[in-house]
Amino acid sequence: MSPKPVVTVAVTVVAALYCTNVKLVPTRRTDYGIRALIFLAEHDGGGRAKAGEIATAMNIPAGFLHQVLQELQRAGLVTSRPSRTGGYQLARPAGEVTILEIVEALEGPLAGGECALRGGPCHWDQVCALHWVWSSAQHALADRLGSATLAQVVADDLALATGEKRHSRHECGSTEGKVEPKGPVVEAVSTARGQ
């Protein structure tokens, strides 16, 4: 069976990250984590999946995938059972897992408490000139990622794999800013997958 195209972080996350002129790109850790969770969600109910099976199907380096899956397990997003018939599965339904939970499980809290201008810790009694703007942008990103579920990303991934374009949830505030299923994230995955 040939692997189907996979949208790395899917259109929902891409829309949240590319709606500004600031280049905010998920790390490979988050990319691989979301790919693995997409695989598990698409195969939910079919038993546990082996890490090797996930790595092959989703084009993830096996050694790195084991680290990512351990972090997702510590965060309570996946469960595992070591044995010949064991493997990984989602800890709860994909509709109950937000993209924010996944990002924070793999990267730590979105609002890291670091000063945007001066570096080091943000001191509320001596805020910098950028504090209010940067803080509100972080909250907006967290809200967007917190409102997107793994189930939505899986639905988008399946739609894109069949050539369907989904736009309804992916607007950046205007009718002109609709996200197309193309761009650096999708092209990188297609290139990596040889498509």
Residue 169 lies in a domain: yes
- CB of 105 closer than 8 Å to CB of 71: yes
pLDDT of residue 89 exceeding 90, the answer is: yes
pLDDT of residue 188 exceeding 60, the answer is: no
CA 161 to chain centre: 17
pLDDT of residue 134 exceeding 90, the answer is: no
Please report the pLDDT score of residue 91 as a whole number: 96
User: What is the pLDDT confidence band of residue 183, given thresholds at 50, 70 and 90?
Assistant: very low
Range of the domain at 148: 10-192
Secondary structure (3-state) at 23: coil
Residue 4 lies in a domain: no
pLDDT of residue 97 exceeding 90, the answer is: yes
Please choose, from the candidates 127, 75, 67, the residue with its C-alpha nearest in 3D space to the C-alpha of residue 97: 75
Residue 1 lies in a domain: no
pLDDT of residue 168 exceeding 80, the answer is: no
User: What is the pLDDT confidence band of residue 110, given thresholds at 50, 70 and 90?
Assistant: confident
Q: What total of structural domains would you count in the chain?
A: 1
Residue 2 lies in a domain: no
Residue 135 burial class via C-beta count within 10 angstroms: exposed 0-12, middle 13-18, buried 19 and up: middle
User: What is the pLDDT confidence band of residue 57, given thresholds at 50, 70 and 90?
Assistant: very high
C-alpha torsion sign, points 166, 100, 62, 40: negative
| DSSP letter (8 states) at residue 138 | H
Residue 108 lies in a domain: yes
Residue 60 lies in a domain: yes
Please report the pLDDT score of residue 192 as a whole number: 47
* Residues above pLDDT 70, as percent of the chain: 66
Provide the mean pLDDT of the chain: 76
Residue 166 lies in a domain: yes
CATH code of the domain covering residue 145: 1.10.10.10
Residue 3 lies in a domain: no
Question: Rg (Cα) of the chain, in Å, rounded?
Answer: 18
Rounded distance between C-alpha atoms, residue 182 and residue 77, angstroms:
28
**pLDDT tens, residue by residue, 7-16:** 433 333 444 4
* Residues above pLDDT 90, as percent of the chain: 42
Would the pTM of this model clear 0.75, i.e. be above it?
A: no
Please report the pLDDT score of residue 167 as a whole number: 52
